C-alpha cells in the first residue's frame, strides 16, 4: 500500500468514525431531509478525493463540516433552491458555534422512552418524516390533512419531546 492510499484510507476511517456527527450537522442546517443520505455520500466522496489536503493531527470534524456545508450549498444551488437555504454567512456562524455533540447516548435513550409516550398517529408521522424523508405536504395529502397541521404537529411533537428529554436526563442526575 502506498503512503497516499494509506493516508486516504486513514481519512476515510476518520470519516466513518465521525459520520454520525457529520450527518447530524448536515441534518441540522438544511430544510427538508430527503437528500441527506446523498449529501453524506457526496461529502464522503469529496473527502476521499481531497484526502491529501487533510493534515494529520488537525481538526478533522471542522474540515469535514466545511466540506459538508459546501456540499449542501452546492446541492441547493443546483436544484435552483438556493433561496430556501440559510445564507452562507449565517451557516458559517451557526457551524462555528455548533455544540460539540448533537446527539449523545443518554439523550438517544431518553428520546426512545419519550417517543413511547406519543400516540401511534404522531409516531407514524415522525416515521414518515424521518425514516422516509417525506415532505410534510406528502404526509398531509396521504393522511387527508392540511399541510399546516402537519407542520404544527411536527413542531409540537419535537417541543414535547425536547421537554421530555430534558426532564429525563435531568432526573437521572438528581
Contact region with other proteins (CB under 8 A), list: 9-17, 57-65, 67-75: 9-17
Which listed residue (69, 159, 169, 172) binds other proteins by CB under 8 A? 159
How far, in Å, CA of 133 to CA of 137, rounded? 11
Which listed residue (4, 31, 52, 79) binds other proteins by CB under 8 A? 31
68 is an interface residue for other proteins by CB under 8 A:
no
CB of 36 to other proteins, least distance (A): 7
Is the Cβ–Cβ distance between 111 and 158 less than 8 Å? no
Instruction: Name the CA radius of gyration of the chain, rounded.
Output: 19
Cβ nearer to other proteins, comparing 69 with 129: 129
Cβ nearer to other proteins, comparing 66 with 90: 90
Which listed residue (4, 59, 79, 112) binds other proteins by CB under 8 A? 112
108 is an interface residue for other proteins by CB under 8 A:
yes
Least Cα distance to 84 among 130, 40, 29, 35 occurs for 29
Is the Cβ–Cβ distance between 47 and 22 less than 8 Å? no
How far, in Å, CA of 35 to CA of 37, rounded? 6
How far, in Å, CA of 172 to CA of 118, rounded? 21
Which listed residue (50, 74, 160, 169) binds other proteins by CB under 8 A? 160
50 is an interface residue for other proteins by CB under 8 A:
no
Amino acid at each position: 500500500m502506498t503512503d497516499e492510499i494509506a493516508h486516504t484510507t486513514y481519512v476515510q476511517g476518520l470519516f466513518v468514525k465521525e459520520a454520525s456527527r457529520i450527518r447530524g450537522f448536515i441534518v441540522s442546517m438544511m430544510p427538508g431531509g430527503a437528500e441527506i443520505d446523498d449529501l453524506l455520500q457526496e461529502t464522503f466522496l469529496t473527502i476521499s478525493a481531497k484526502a491529501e489536503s487533510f493534515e494529520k493531527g488537525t481538526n478533522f470534524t471542522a474540515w469535514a463540516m466545511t466540506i459538508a456545508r459546501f456540499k449542501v450549498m452546492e446541492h441547493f444551488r443546483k436544484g435552483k433552491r438556493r433561496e430556501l437555504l440559510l445564507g452562507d454567512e449565517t451557516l458559517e456562524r451557526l457551524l462555528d458555534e455548533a455544540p460539540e455533540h448533537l446527539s449523545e447516548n443518554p439523550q438517544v435513550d431518553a428520546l426512545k422512552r419519550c417517543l413511547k409516550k406519543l400516540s401511534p398517529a404522531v409516531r407514524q408521522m415522525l416515521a414518515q418524516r424521518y425514516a422516509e424523508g417525506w415532505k410534510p405536504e406528502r404526509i398531509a395529502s396521504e393522511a387527508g390533512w392540511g399541510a399546516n397541521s402537519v407542520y404544527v404537529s411536527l413542531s409540537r411533537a419535537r417541543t414535547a419531546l425536547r421537554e421530555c428529554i430534558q426532564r429525563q436526563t435531568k432526573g437521572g442526575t438528581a
